[in-house]
């Protein structure tokens, strides 16, 4: 598509299709001003081609805008994303269009005939193109949802995944078994999704959240403020536990949670383009076997836990056995459990600090 010249784009319109399509029928009358080169009428003519051409790429696109209703745009965008191999094309079309129009997704369906203005189409033009190149929609809209909470997001943070909600679930369950104030540490917080979700659902929890990336923490700060949690979540910038040490006049933690980077070197090469090219490498890659960050967390965690505290980690889909072994080797934990997610992949490791350690 990008390699088409204006002339060839013009020449690829299909007159028969135009007769049966009211949008195209209306617009074919305007094509003549672009000097179509009939000799180049060879390439396959797709609906998406029409869409991009008439809506966005046409140099004189002061076309009758009343033809671009929400319903038609949604259909065109869905076709375009399908052609580009984008996941969940309809959902992504809805997310982008509702963002541009500042509407809820459901409102798109109650305003199907609403006409989209030229200004709105101008903005959509750029974003549709970028989404077609596999840039994640969350980065284009700057927002996402996690544990039913609206969060801001930027390319400095990894996009929170539904699998991570299982970690939040286990953390909330653990905290419900305690009474009084609870101290929680969220390492590698990124946009703060885990800390915010725990704080929202565990009213007695106070949380310290750390990340080595200051730009990610700026987004976490916005999410904390938007959810009115400034007095319950403290952000610290630095390497894992390192920024916490000077703060340890607070008592040790009841719970440490972490979703660290865990992608191995060989997996990194095979990641989808939308992940590998757009999400921060710092949030993904963790050495040759993907266990580098776990080794460092597991080595130190018990020093930061209360005697009856717990460590809950998100882990990679096949890392269960290796993480269990790392936890067992410390001799510091009991009740080590590896849990699978809804795709039957290893996903959560839970370990309780041993009250009495053998040989001590």
Ligand X SMILES: C[S@@+](CC[C@H](N)C(=O)[O-])C[C@H]1O[C@@H](n2cnc3c(N)ncnc32)[C@H](O)[C@@H]1O
Instruction: Point out which residues bind ligand X (CB under 6 A).
Output: 157-158, 160, 164, 188-190, 193-194, 210-213, 216, 239-240, 259-261, 282-283
* Residue 81 · residue 51 · CB < 8 Å: no
Q: Using the minimum distance from each CB to ligand X, give the nearer residue, 194 or 311.
A: 194
Cα separation, 348 vs 341, in Å, equals 8
E-strand stretches of the chain: 143-146, 149-152, 182-187, 205-211, 233-237, 253-258, 305-314, 333-340, 346-353
Q: Using the minimum distance from each CB to ligand X, give the nearer residue, 52 or 197.
A: 197
Query: From the CB of 6, what's the least distance to ligand X, in Å?
Result: 43
Q: Using the minimum distance from each CB to ligand X, give the nearer residue, 83 or 292.
A: 292
Query: From the CB of 176, what's the least distance to ligand X, in Å?
Result: 21
Query: From the CB of 294, what's the least distance to ligand X, in Å?
Result: 11
Query: From the CB of 189, what's the least distance to ligand X, in Å?
Result: 5
Query: From the CB of 348, what's the least distance to ligand X, in Å?
Result: 12
Q: Using the minimum distance from each CB to ligand X, give the nearer residue, 165 or 254.
A: 165
What angle is formed at CA 100 by the lines to CA 218 and CA 87, rounded to 5 degrees? 80
Q: Using the minimum distance from each CB to ligand X, give the nearer residue, 239 or 277.
A: 239
Q: What is the three-class DSSP state of 26?
A: helix
SS3 helix, strand, coil % of the chain, rounded to 5?
50, 15, 35
Cα separation, 349 vs 327, in Å, equals 9
Cα separation, 322 vs 258, in Å, equals 17
Q: Using the minimum distance from each CB to ligand X, give the nearer residue, 174 or 241.
A: 241
Q: Using the minimum distance from each CB to ligand X, give the nearer residue, 92 or 210.
A: 210
Cα separation, 103 vs 77, in Å, equals 17
Q: How many CB atoms lie within 10 A of CB 138?
A: 23
* Residue 50 · residue 12 · CB < 8 Å: no
Query: From the CB of 208, what's the least distance to ligand X, in Å?
Result: 12
Query: From the CB of 250, what's the least distance to ligand X, in Å?
Result: 19
- Shortest Cβ contact with ligand X: which residue? 190
């Amino acid at each position: 598509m990008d390699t088409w010249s204006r002339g060839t784009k013009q020449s690829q319109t299909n007159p028969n299709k135009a007769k049966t399509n009211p949008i195209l029928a209306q617009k074919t009358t305007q094509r003549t001003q672009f000097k179509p080169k009939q000799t180049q009428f060879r390439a396959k003519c797709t609906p998406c081609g029409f869409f991009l051409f008439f809506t966005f790429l046409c140099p004189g696109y002061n076309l009758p805008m009343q033809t671009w209703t929400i319903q038609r745009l949604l259909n065109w965008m869905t076709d375009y994303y399908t052609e580009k191999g984008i996941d969940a094309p309809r959902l992504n079309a809805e997310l982008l269009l509702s963002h541009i129009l500042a509407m809820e997704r459901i409102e798109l369906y109650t305003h199907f005939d609403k006409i989209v203005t030229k200004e709105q189409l101008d903005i959509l033009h750029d974003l549709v193109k970028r989404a077609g190149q596999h840039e994640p929609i969350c980065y284009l809209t700057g927002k996402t949802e996690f544990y039913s909470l609206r969060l801001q997001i930027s390319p400095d943070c990894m996009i929170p995944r539904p699998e991570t909600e299982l970690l939040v679930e286990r953390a909330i369950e653990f905290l419900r078994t305690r009474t009084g104030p609870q101290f929680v540490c969220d390492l590698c917080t990124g946009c703060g999704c885990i800390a915010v979700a725990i704080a929202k659902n565990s009213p007695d929890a106070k949380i310290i959240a750390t990340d080595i990336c200051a730009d990610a923490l700026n987004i976490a700060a916005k999410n904390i403020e938007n959810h009115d949690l400034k007095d319950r979540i403290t952000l610290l910038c630095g390497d894992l536990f390192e920024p916490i040490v000077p703060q340890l006049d607070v008592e040790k933690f009841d719970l440490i949670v972490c979703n660290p980077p865990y992608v191995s070197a060989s997996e990194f090469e095979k990641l989808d383009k939308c992940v590998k090219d757009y999400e921060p490498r710092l949030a993904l890659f963790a050495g040759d076997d993907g266990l580098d960050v776990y080794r460092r967390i597991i080595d130190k965690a018990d020093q930061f836990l209360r005697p009856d505290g717990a460590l809950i980690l998100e882990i990679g889909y096949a890392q269960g056995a290796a993480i269990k072994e790392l936890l067992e080797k410390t001799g510091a934990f009991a009740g080590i459990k590896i849990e699978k997610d809804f795709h039957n992949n290893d996903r959560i490791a839970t370990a309780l600090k041993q009250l009495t350690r053998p040989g001590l």
